[in-house]
Amino acid sequence: MSFPISLTVNGVRRNIELDDPRVTLLDLLRERLDLPGTKKGCDRGQCGACAVLIDGRRVNSCLALAVAHDGAAITTIEGVAHGEELHPVQAAFIAHEGFQCGFCTPGQIMSALGLIGEGQAGDDPERVREGMSGNLCRCSAYAGIVEAVLEAQQKLADANRRDAA
């Protein structure tokens, strides 16, 4: 049996014939849509390396069945930069050394984008740490990650204010 689904991935509409309902969104992205930026860490919803935005919300793609997300808009790390220009969150991760080996970084950045969009953490480092606790970093770059998220959030807020003015 096959399951036709349609996803908007990084702004591009993709029509997909799923031959098996077991395919997770993570495996679909990596193995079938040639988007390996989203990482498979634990594949059990414990590490956060596979975080993507589904309709703007951060979610672990390893615990999402692709077939159940027919019609959704997915943003992955490949869809974050504007051409060669890094997104402010990406730039802040580099500036603050919010990574070492880089394996967890796509998930960290997608989760940071989600966190900033949720608007719950404000400029409180403790709230940022709590809000990012679903993304493990085995190089333990946590201090840089928190700084990067706080700075990127501030820059995005400043840019929004300039746009509004």
Partner 1 sequence: MKSFDYVRPATVAEAVVASMTPGAAYLASGTNLLDLMKTGAARPDRLVDISRLPGLDRIERLADGGLRIGALVRNADLAHDPDFYRACPAVAEALLSGASAQLRNAATVGGNLLQKTRCAYFYDPFSACNRREPGSGCDALQGENRLHAVLGWSPSCIAVHPSDFCVPLVALDAVVEIEGKGGRREIALEALHRLPGDAPQRETLLEPGDLVTALRLPAEAAAFARHARYLKLRERTSYAFAVVSAAAALDMADGRIRQARLALGGVAAKPWRARAAEESLAGATPGQETFRRAAEMALADAQPSGDNGFKIELARRIVGRTLALAAAGTPQRLPALPGSPFSSHPGAQP
Comparison of 35 and 59: residue with beta carbon closer to partner 1 = 59
Comparison of 1 and 164: residue with beta carbon closer to partner 1 = 1
Q: Please name the residues in contact with 142: beta carbons below 8 A apart, sequence gap of 6 or more.
A: 129, 132
Smallest gap from Cβ 48 to partner 1, in A, equals: 6
In the complex, which residues of this chain contact partner 1 (CB under 8 A)? 1, 3, 20-22, 24, 43-45, 48, 51, 57-60, 62-65, 67-68, 111, 114-115, 118, 120, 124, 126-127, 129-135
Comparison of 123 and 158: residue with beta carbon closer to partner 1 = 123
Q: 88 φ, ψ to 5°?
A: -55, -30
Q: Please name the residues in contact with 62: beta carbons below 8 A apart, sequence gap of 6 or more.
A: 24, 25, 26, 40, 42, 43, 44, 45, 50
Smallest gap from Cβ 152 to partner 1, in A, equals: 16
Comparison of 15 and 164: residue with beta carbon closer to partner 1 = 15
